Structure formats: structure tokens, C-alpha cells
Structure 1
Amino acid sequence: MIEQINKGGKKMKSFKVLITILLLLLLIPAPQSYALSKKTAVSYVSTIDGDTVRVKNSRTSFTLRLLLIDAPEIATSSKVGQPYSKEAKAYLTKYLQGKKLTIAYDNAIKKDKNGRHLVYLYADNVLVNNVMVKNGYARVGYIMSQKYYLNTLKKSESDAKAQKLRIWSKAGYVNTKGEGFVTPTSTAKPATSKAGYPTSKYRNGAPKYLKNCTEVKKYYPYGITVHHVSYLTKHDRDNDKLGCEATGIKYESWMKYN
């Protein structure tokens, strides 16, 4: 009888120790990024730029934003492309074609505010995010809670920087004080169809946001039209579809193409 009581006491003591250990584990803060999701197969569709790709699965197509990296911005209708943006896109396109692609998510955040899937992309089981950084087509950037491969990518970035590969070959181009890249503003005069009149055309290298007429005239000496990407109602106090224009100038339909 006494032996049974002793055995019961030992079991109870072991159980209490186990409960204590479990409670202590619950009190330890979980790391921000502790595991990857199961890899999922996808098929290549197209490349948007050096860090963004379109893929599809058996149901639909969707956009991927490669985690923890940032490649130069590609040119659009409203902005000029950054150095090495075309090269990064071309390299990524060639690298992905013909390979078996899979993706994995890093912790609970799976999409950004634009609906892009935040992933690690693998081509024949090689981490594409790291390939882009290692070869100097992208930098480490947009570090949020997803950090599974952060140390790996930082090591590749350090190597690429030491070798002055691509984006690292231009002194001061990679923004070491924050995200992205530093592109100097162009000092070229704006091209217009008719000199001396407000323009509707965006000037390469000019900021998109211009806070007042002083800034407008710095890049567009004759003002801008309502069709211009930088037009704001505060530039056009007389509400005549022209912003910061010279006195006596009136809006005409041909100015839409000026």
C-alpha cells in the first residue's frame, strides 16, 4: 500500500513539473518569424520587375512580391526607370523560365496592402530572393516581421557590395540611410510641343509631387495643364485647367498633347 502511494506521489510530482515547464514555455515570447509554410508549386507567367512576378496555380494567377529584397523601380507611364531596373527584370525572367517553381510563406502575414503574395520563391529548390541579392540586382529591404532568411540575404548583400556588382557599382546609388535607391534629378530642360506654353508632359527625373508654383516652375517654367501628373488644384487658383501659368494664357484643347 505504501509503495502504491509513493508511486502515485512520484507521478503527481512529474505531472506538476511537466505543467510548470509548459507554462514557462508559454511565457517565453515567440520569435517574429519561426517557420515556413509548406512549399506550393506554381507556374511562371511573367516578370513585372526585379522583385515582383506573376505566377499561376491550378485555380488562378496572382502576383508575388519577393520577401526581404528590393530591386530598382522599372519605368512606367508616370515615372522614369531606375538604373539596373531593366537588367534586373531581364535576369529574373531568364532565370525563372524552364525551372520548377515553388513558393513558401513566412509566418502569418501572407499579403501586402496591394494584394500581392509575400513569399520566398524557389526555382529548382534554389531561393530566388537570394539569387537576386547575391548577383547585385537587388538589395535587402522591406524588413518587416518576416525574417526567416534575413541573415542569409545580408551575407549575400555584403558579398555583392564588396564585389561592386550591378547596383553596388554606382557610388551612393543604394540608399544606405533607408529603403530604395537614390536617383539624381535631371537638369535637362523640359521638352514641349510649343515652347512658352504650359505642358501636359511629365519631365523625366522631376518629382511627381510639387508643393507650390515655385517648385512647378523649377521643372516646368511655363506651368502645367490639368492633364499633367503633377497638377493639383492649389496650382490652379483661377480654376482654368492651367497651373502656375503666365498671365494672359488660356487653356486650349491642343494643350492636352503639349
Structure 2
Amino acid sequence: MCSQNNLTYEATMATTTRTVHRAHRVPSKLERHNARRRQSAGVTALIGLLGAVLFVGSLSLFVLILNTVAQNSATPYAAEPTVIETIDGDTIDVRIGYKRQRIRLLGIDTPETKDPRKPVQCFGREASERTEELLPPGTIVRLEHDIEKHDAYNRLLAYVWRASDGLFVNLDLVAGGYADILSIPPNTAHADAFRAAMTAAKATPVGLWATCGGPDKPAS
């Protein structure tokens, strides 16, 4: 299995290396969206190459490959977005310049811990702790936006990368079983990658799939 994983990783890296990006002008928002959808389509093709992921060691390699393929097209900011605190598993506060901004992680949904209309859900505390572990206060992040930049609560919608090592936080939470997927058009740039990671997490199973039997279950 180890040698097969190494061969898979080398093949994927070789494919990624052969991809040449030529930019003669600044692409439009629609062009950037279409490019991200093509990247996500590449992730779907990887599922057949990787096969079913049946244990945690393989899952780690799987996430590494998806991180490589889901290229970072983060939005540049004049000031580096810096984490202030974790609100819950899929919500953080960051500072951009002098402004505090609430971020809702796109494409995923962690069990509720703060919604006054709902009880604390199974694996909600673990999801919040995982997000805080990945993004402790002071962490510099890169933010990628999709078609819609804000939600109805004026939260900034974003795919979040950890700047220090390029970790795709949204993807990590799904792959570790801390989050379900939440694909709401038109914000679906990485939907295929998230779906692939969720399939692997359920097959293992890990996180809420192992402990709770699935999402939206009340905490015991």
C-alpha cells in the first residue's frame, strides 16, 4: 500500500507540474470561476486513480493530493488577514488592516454549537477545537472568494488557506470528519474536492461519521 501511495502521489505531482499557467491579461470573475470549476473537475478524475480510501494513513495522503490539486487562487489584500479567534467550527474572526471581519468557511458545515435555535450537536465541540487548533489567534491566512462574497448575515464567505504551509482548512475539516459538505450554488468552486474528501471520511470512517453516525445529531 505504501509503494502504491507513493506511485499515486508521484503521478499526481507530475500531472500538476505539467500544467502551465499563461496569463496575458487579468481574468474576469466568470473566467476565474470557470477555471476553479475545471480544477475541481480534475479532483473528480483523481477519485478513480486513488480508489477507495479505507484507513486514516491513506486519508492523510489523499488530503495532501487534494491540497495540491485545489490550487490557491486567493484574493490579495493590502494587509494580511490574521486570525483573531474561532467562533465555531466553520466560522472565524480575522483582522484585515484595522477591521475585524467575520469569515464563514465556504462549502462546509460543522455541527452547531452557537446557534440559539438549536441544541449543541454531536461533534460540534470537537469541530470547534479542530478549527482553533488549525487557526490559533495570530495565524496569517489567505482567503479565496467565490461568486458571492457575503452571505445574508454580512459574513465574508471564503475558502481559507493557512499562509505558513498552504493548508486548505475547509478541506481539512471535511477530510477529518469534522464537517459535512454544504454546496450552495453559485459558490461551488471546490465542491468536487469537498465531496471526494467526505466520501473518504465516511468510508474510513472518521470524526462525526464514526462517532455520531452522520451530521445533525444532538450531542449525547
* TM-score after normalising by structure 2: 0.61
Aligned mates of 1:76, 1:148 — CA distance in 2: 27
Q: Which has the higher contact order (CA 8 A, sep 6+)?
A: 2
- Residue 153 of structure 1 deviates from its aligned partner by 1.0
The more displaced of 78-87 and 46-55 is: 78-87
Q: What's 1:33 paired with?
A: 33
Aligned mates of 1:46, 1:91 — CA distance in 2: 13
Encode CA deviations 1:121-150: one digit per residue, 9 max, x unaligned. 011322110010011100111422111111
- Residue 171 of structure 1 deviates from its aligned partner by 5.9
Q: Does 2:148 align with 1:102?
A: no
- Residue 39 of structure 1 deviates from its aligned partner by 3.8
Aligned mates of 1:65, 1:122 — CA distance in 2: 13
- Residue 78 of structure 1 deviates from its aligned partner by 5.5
CA distance 1:111–1:127, change in 2 (3 Å) = same
SS at match of 1:90: helix
Q: Does 2:200 align with 1:159?
A: yes
Aligned 8 A contact 1:33 1:145 in 2: no
- Residue 75 of structure 1 deviates from its aligned partner by 4.3
Bigger Rg, which one: 1
Aligned mates of 1:130, 1:163 — CA distance in 2: 16
SS at match of 1:145: coil
Q: Does 2:178 align with 1:141?
A: no
Aligned mates of 1:171, 1:59 — CA distance in 2: 40
Q: Does 2:97 align with 1:61?
A: no
Aligned mates of 1:87, 1:173 — CA distance in 2: 14
Supply the RMSD in Å over aligned alpha carbons.
2.4
CA distance 1:76–1:149, change in 2 (3 Å) = closer
Aligned 8 A contact 1:110 1:117 in 2: yes
- Residue 170 of structure 1 deviates from its aligned partner by 4.3
Q: What's 1:4 paired with?
A: none
SS at match of 2:103: strand
- Spell out the pairing of 1:45-194 with structure 2 (5 A cutoff): 45-75=84-114, 79-97=118-136, 99-107=139-147, 109-123=148-162, 124=164, 125-170=166-211, 172-174=213-215, 181-183=216-218
SS at match of 1:93: helix
Aligned mates of 2:32, 2:142 — CA distance in 1: 23
- Structure 2: gaps spanning 5 or more residues: 1-29, 37-72
SS at match of 1:62: strand
CA distance 1:78–1:141, change in 2 (3 Å) = closer
Q: Greater share of helix residues, 1 or 2? A: 2
Percent identity reads 26
CA distance 1:88–1:171, change in 2 (3 Å) = closer
- Structure 1: gaps spanning 5 or more residues: 1-29, 175-180, 187-258
1:33 corresponds to which letter in structure 2?
A: H
Aligned mates of 2:115, 2:197 — CA distance in 1: 29
Aligned mates of 2:184, 2:116 — CA distance in 1: 28
Aligned mates of 1:84, 1:53 — CA distance in 2: 18
